[in-house]
């Protein structure tokens, strides 16, 4: 049996897994990404590269294999990753600018290395082994701190002409709306990320201090992406209003994606998706009202991602196929 190494590079942790032919993770490791470098600045490329190497060796040690025994190493990294040259052209999260990540990892371990944007790698993981398995084309959207997305067309990752394609989070759903970290106003990410839901929840609490929602926040001492849903389940009208507004924004961005790509399946992931049908049922209904193809015999299926945090590792490990 062949083994494939998948590396998911994050701003907090670097996760690595040994993946078999059936896309099972047989061993894994996790190394903390040093948040500050030696001089107090963001970690240098050399530091992060060293942490990637450490994670690969640790996972291989857990599996009882050598890195050179693997068929290949796949790396999912934040930012614009040129999958042809193997260069991370820009990553604002990590402070990378034109770093030769593929060449440096290949030099260290002597096996073929594949490089991809982390959201694309996670989407490919869902495509080969998760909720989108068996489809031909898929869109995968992750509702986290931002809105990450990956697009699979005819079994291949869509990267765009400059390897920066698929950034659905930075399409506008509210003209001249809230500022986004990308510099635009009204982005899908500003409204539909977990942080967008947290912001709406906090604002509703301030405006309605006597609500169940506000009382929950006072008791918990914090606001989460699930606070409004928890309040709604207790019959709180304010919590219900927040969740309905959130679904309105989310459905707009998802309908846009469907109208552009018409994929077989669209998968959503992230902590708020733990709500299951409480989120999915009204979301599907709202999207159905907005899609151009509503009278088609076949429409995009909307489901929840199934691999969780393992999607990035599995997708990276299988990049040689994408």
What is the average pLDDT value for the chain, to the nearest integer? 94
Per-residue pLDDT at 89 exceeds 60? yes
Average pLDDT over residues 281-307: 93
The whole model's pTM is what? 0.92
End-to-end Cα separation, the chain, in angstroms: 20
DSSP3 helix / strand / coil % (the chain, rounded to 5): 40, 25, 35
In tens, the pLDDT along 70-85 reads 999 999 999 999 999 9
Average pLDDT over residues 227-244: 98
In tens, the pLDDT along 249-270 reads 999 999 999 999 999 999 999 9
- Higher per-residue pLDDT: 315 or 43: 315
In tens, the pLDDT along 133-179 reads 999 999 999 999 899 999 999 999 999 999 999 999 999 999 999 99
Q: What is the pLDDT of residue 322?
A: 76
Asked whether the domain spanning 135-304 has the same topology as the one spanning 4-128+310-321, the reply is: yes
Dihedral-angle region of residue 166 (phi above 0 means left; psi in -120 to 50 means alpha; beta otherwise)? left
Domain 4-128+310-321 architecture: 2-Layer Sandwich (3.30)
In tens, the pLDDT along 170-210 reads 999 999 999 998 899 999 999 999 999 999 999 999 999 99
Fold of 135-304: Nucleotidyltransferase; domain 5 (3.30.420)
- Higher per-residue pLDDT: 252 or 322: 252
* Dist. CA 40–CA 253, nearest whole Å: 38
Residues 140/269, Cβ–Cβ less than 8 Å: yes
Per-residue pLDDT at 41 exceeds 70? no
* Dist. CA 282–CA 191, nearest whole Å: 17
Q: What is the pLDDT of residue 1?
A: 77
* Dist. CA 250–CA 269, nearest whole Å: 12
Average pLDDT over residues 284-294: 93
Q: Coil, strand or helix: which one is 171?
A: coil
Average pLDDT over residues 8-27: 94
Among 55-59, 207-211, 289-293, whose mean pLDDT is lowest? Answer: 289-293
Residue extents of the structural domains in the chain: 4-128+310-321, 135-304
* Dist. CA 189–CA 256, nearest whole Å: 13
């Amino acid at each position: 049996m062949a083994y494939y190494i998948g590396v998911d590079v994050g701003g907090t942790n670097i996760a690595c897994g040994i993946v078999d032919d059936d896309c099972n993770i047989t061993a894994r490791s996790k190394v903390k990404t040093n948040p500050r470098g030696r001089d107090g600045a963001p970690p240098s490329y050399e530091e992060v590269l060293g942490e990637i190497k450490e994670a690969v060796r640790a996972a291989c040690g857990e599996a009882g294999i050598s890195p050179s025994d693997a068929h290949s190493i796949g790396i999912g990294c934040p930012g614009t990753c040129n999958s042809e040259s193997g260069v991370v052209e820009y990553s604002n999260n990590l402070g990378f600018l034109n770093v030769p990540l593929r060449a440096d990892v290949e030099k260290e371990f002597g096996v073929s290395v594949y490089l991809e944007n982390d959201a694309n790698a996670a989407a490919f993981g869902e495509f080969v082994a998760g909720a989108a398995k068996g489809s031909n084309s898929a869109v995968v959207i992750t509702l986290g701190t931002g809105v990450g997305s990956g697009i699979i067309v005819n079994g291949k990752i869509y990267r765009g002409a400059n390897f920066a394609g698929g950034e659905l989070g930075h399409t506008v759903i509210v003209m001249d709306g809230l500022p986004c970290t990308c510099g635009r106003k009204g982005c899908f990410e500003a409204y539909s990320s977990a942080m967008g839901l947290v912001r709406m929840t906090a604002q509703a609490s301030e405006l309605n201090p006597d609500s169940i929602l506000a009382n929950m926040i006072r008791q918990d001492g914090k606001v989460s992406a699930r606070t409004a849903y928890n309040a709604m389940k207790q019959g709180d009208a304010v919590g219900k209003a927040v969740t309905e507004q959130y679904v309105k924004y989310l459905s707009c961005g998802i309908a846009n994606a469907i109208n552009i790509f018409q994929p077989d399946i669209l998968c959503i992931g992230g902590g708020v998706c733990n709500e299951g049908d409480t989120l999915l049922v009204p979301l599907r209904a709202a999207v159905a009202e907005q899609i151009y193809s509503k009278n088609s015999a076949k429409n995009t299926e909307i489901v929840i991602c199934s691999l969780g945090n393992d999607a990035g590792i599995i997708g990276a490990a299988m990049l040689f196929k994408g």
